[in-house]
């Protein structure tokens, strides 16, 4: 088993329904990586400080109560232990200010979350193919 098959994925999503749909999509792609769920930005930062091995990829929703995705992204990318972890923004927003702002803060990819389940499954399949079959992720330091 390759190292990238064992790197966890951290999904930061306040909607349990959206998290469950994303999980179903990953299962359909036969992804073997462990998945951790944080229901808020603060929970995600707390998990990053404690889980090992660290995630190989973070899927981050933008619009969450409390510490939103923008502030969470900023905290991740400004932390020397976490800044290399690729962060994929997965959100319903197609607002140009969100897109520009997230890339300015260090997001690796910005994906508008499809509204229907088939679209979500297709998007997750492509994310899995790219991040876990094509891209080479940084190893844990």
In a domain, 68, yes or no: yes
pLDDT number for residue 33: 87
pLDDT at 3 (0 to 100): 52
Structurally, how many domains does the chain consist of?
1
pLDDT, tens digit, 9 for 90 and up, residues 43-95: 999 999 998 888 989 999 999 999 999 999 999 999 999 999 999 999 999 99
Percent of the chain at pLDDT above 70?
Answer: 94
Q: What is the CATH number of the domain that holds 45?
A: 3.40.50.2300
Range of the domain at 51: 9-133
For the cut 60, the answer to whether the pLDDT of residue 111 exceeds it is yes
Q: How sure is the predictor about 1, in pLDDT bands with cuts at 50, 70 and 90?
A: very low
Residue 101 lies in a domain: yes
On whether residue 139 sits in a domain, the answer given is no
Confirm whether 119 is domain-assigned.
yes
* DSSP structure string for the chain: --HHHHS-EEEE-S-HHHHHHHHHHHHHTT--S-EEEESSHHHHHHHHHH-SSPPSEEEE-S--SSS-HHHHHHHHHTSTTTTTS-EEEEES---HHHHHHHHHHT-SEEEEPPSSHHHHHHHHHHHHHIIIIIS-PPPP-
Would you say residue 1 lies in a domain?
A: no
């Amino acid at each position: 088993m390759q190292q990238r098959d064992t790197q966890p994925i951290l999904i930061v999503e306040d909607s349990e329904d959206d998290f469950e749909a994303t999980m179903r999509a990953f299962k359909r792609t036969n992804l073997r990586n462990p998945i951790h769920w944080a229901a808020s930005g603060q929970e995600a930062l707390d998990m990053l400080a404690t889980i090992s091995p660290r995630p190989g990829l973070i899927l981050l929703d933008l619009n969450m109560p409390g510490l939103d995705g923008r502030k969470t992204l900023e905290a991740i990318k400004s932390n020397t232990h976490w800044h290399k972890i690729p962060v994929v923004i997965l959100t319903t927003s197609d607002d140009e200010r969100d897109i520009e702002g997230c890339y300015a803060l260090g997001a690796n990819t910005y994906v508008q979350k499809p509204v229907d389940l088939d679209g979500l499954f297709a998007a997750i399949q492509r994310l899995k193919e790219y991040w876990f079959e094509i891209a080479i992720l940084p190893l844990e330091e």
